[in-house]
């Protein structure tokens, strides 16, 4: 979906159509842009930008708060349309999904005809514009959908994937962030085609195992299936402070609260997480992440302990603007296989179930760890 949150707001409020709309935090606060309409983008506004920066670049924009309940409802309507064309639909976010239409041509026609029908149906039923990419695999279809925005439809015929990708910048590859882009630039690689021509062994020597994976993607190869039944990729929580913090106790309390929130979501959805990721953004907007992997868990205290261990490895050279905690490598909970090294784990698991029932009945804040009770004069 194109500028999804902002587009929903423009749909529901006709007076906003054709005007720059920015969905996110209060422009006088310290949050970030969640979505920006295409009218706001020529001014340099983009998602994840500090909201104050967006207000400075586009002071005449209409700023609106995030309404996740509404966006989730619209997302469900869109996903229901996709299922009409194939049962193999894999949502990857609230506004994006992969659809496998292999074997459906007898019902719906060739792929390009299906894509056009989806665009028409989303427009007619939901009143929004979608961009689609049609290709033989997930990665190339994703790139194609991005290149066509807004209101795009790009088809990459089977066999032409490498030629399609070759002129694109390497940042279009999944897994290429700023650090990897700099590393590849040091090898004289600026485009996907240049990366595809590099020997895989050279890339692996410089980038580790991800080097060979990037080489496969650069050649248009991606054998991952569309998986409608797979678990979510991750769960997480983060907080942008009203003022920057260097107080370690404050950071630890926030992490404790985030760990409990994430653990509750894991238990609600029936998952355990093996990987814990800590995210810190400093006052100068420098952002770093640290991660660790252990036994799968849905225990808030255990997730918190792993996050604190990651925090202790970070040298806090300046005040922190944002702190976040997420979990990934999700799988089924290993009931009955709790660590023998932590005799309190079984007791905490039973306690967590009781807390979940209380929270469901009386609200998430009805019962909390004592360390989260705010002290006088704390903020």
Task: Identify the band that residue 245 occupies on the pLDDT scale cut at 50, 70 and 90.
Answer: confident
The residue assigned the tokens 């990934």 is 328
- Identify the bridge partners of residue 379 per DSSP, sorted by sequence position: none
Predicted structure pTM score: 0.74
68-72, 134-138, 352-356: range with highest mean pLDDT: 134-138
H/E segment holding residue 64: strand 62-64
Domains of the chain: 4-66 (3.40.1170.60), 136-228 (1.10.150.20), 234-372 (3.30.1490.100)
Mean pLDDT over each residue of the chain, to the nearest integer: 88
Local structure of 147: helix, strand or coil: helix
* pLDDT of res. 30: 81
Q: Is residue 325 reached through a cis peptide bond, with omega within 30 degrees of 0 on the bond before it?
A: no
Catalytic residue positions? 96
221: Cα within 13 Å, side-chain hemisphere: 7
* pLDDT of res. 360: 62
Q: Is the dihedral of CA 335, 337, 339, 340 positive or negative?
A: positive
Task: Identify the band that residue 214 occupies on the pLDDT scale cut at 50, 70 and 90.
Answer: very high
Evaluate if residue 343 carries a pLDDT over 60: no
DSSP code for 16 = G
Copy the structure tokens of residue 184: 């590849």
Q: Contact, 107 vs 113, CB < 8 A? A: no
The CA-CA-CA angle for residues 51, 72, 42, to 5°, reads 35
Evaluate if residue 376 carries a pLDDT over 80: no
Mean pLDDT of 243-264: 92
């Amino acid at each position: 979906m194109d500028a999804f949150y902002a587009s929903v707001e423009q749909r529901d409020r006709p007076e906003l159509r054709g005007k720059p709309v920015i969905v996110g935090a209060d422009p006088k606060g310290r949050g970030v842009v969640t979505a920006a309409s295409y009218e706001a983008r020529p001014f340099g506004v983009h998602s994840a930008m500090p909201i104050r920066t967006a207000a400075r670049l586009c002071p005449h924009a209409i700023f609106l708060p995030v309404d996740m309940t509404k966006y989730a409802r619209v997302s469900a309507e869109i996903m229901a349309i996709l299922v009409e064309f194939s049962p193999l639909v894999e949502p990857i976010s609230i506004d994006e999904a992969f659809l496998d239409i292999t074997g459906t041509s007898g019902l719906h026609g060739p792929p390009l005809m299906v894509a056009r029908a989806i665009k028409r149906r989303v427009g007619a039923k939901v009143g929004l514009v979608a961009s689609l990419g049609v290709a033989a695999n997930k990665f190339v279809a994703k790139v194609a959908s991005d290149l066509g925005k807004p209101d795009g439809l790009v088809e990459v015929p089977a066999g032409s994937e490498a030629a399609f990708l070759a002129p694109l910048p390497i940042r279009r590859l999944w897994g290429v962030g700023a650090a990897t882009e700099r590393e590849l630039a040091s090898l004289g690689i600026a485009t996907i085609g240049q990366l595809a021509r590099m020997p895989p062994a050279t890339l692996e020597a410089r980038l580790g195992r991800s080097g060979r994976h990037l080489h496969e993607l650069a050649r248009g190869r991606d054998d991952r299936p569309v998986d409608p039944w797979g678990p979510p990729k991750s769960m997480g929580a983060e907080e942008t402070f009203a003022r920057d913090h260097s107080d370690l106790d404050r950071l630890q309390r926030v992490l404790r609260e985030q760990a409990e929130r994430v653990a509750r979501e894991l238990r609600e959805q029936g998952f355990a997480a093996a990987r814990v990721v800590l995210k810190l953004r400093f006052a100068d907007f420098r952002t770093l992440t640290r991660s660790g992997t252990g036994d799968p868990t849905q225990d808030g205290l255990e997730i918190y302990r792993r996050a604190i261990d990651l925090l202790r490895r970070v040298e806090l050279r300046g005040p922190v603007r944002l702190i976040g905690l997420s979990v990934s490598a999700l799988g089924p909970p290993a009931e009955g296989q709790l660590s023998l090294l932590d005799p309190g784990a079984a007791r905490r698991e039973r306690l967590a179930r009781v807390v979940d029932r209380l929270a469901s009945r009386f609200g998430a804040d009805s019962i909390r760890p004592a360390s989260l009770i705010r002290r006088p004069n704390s903020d």
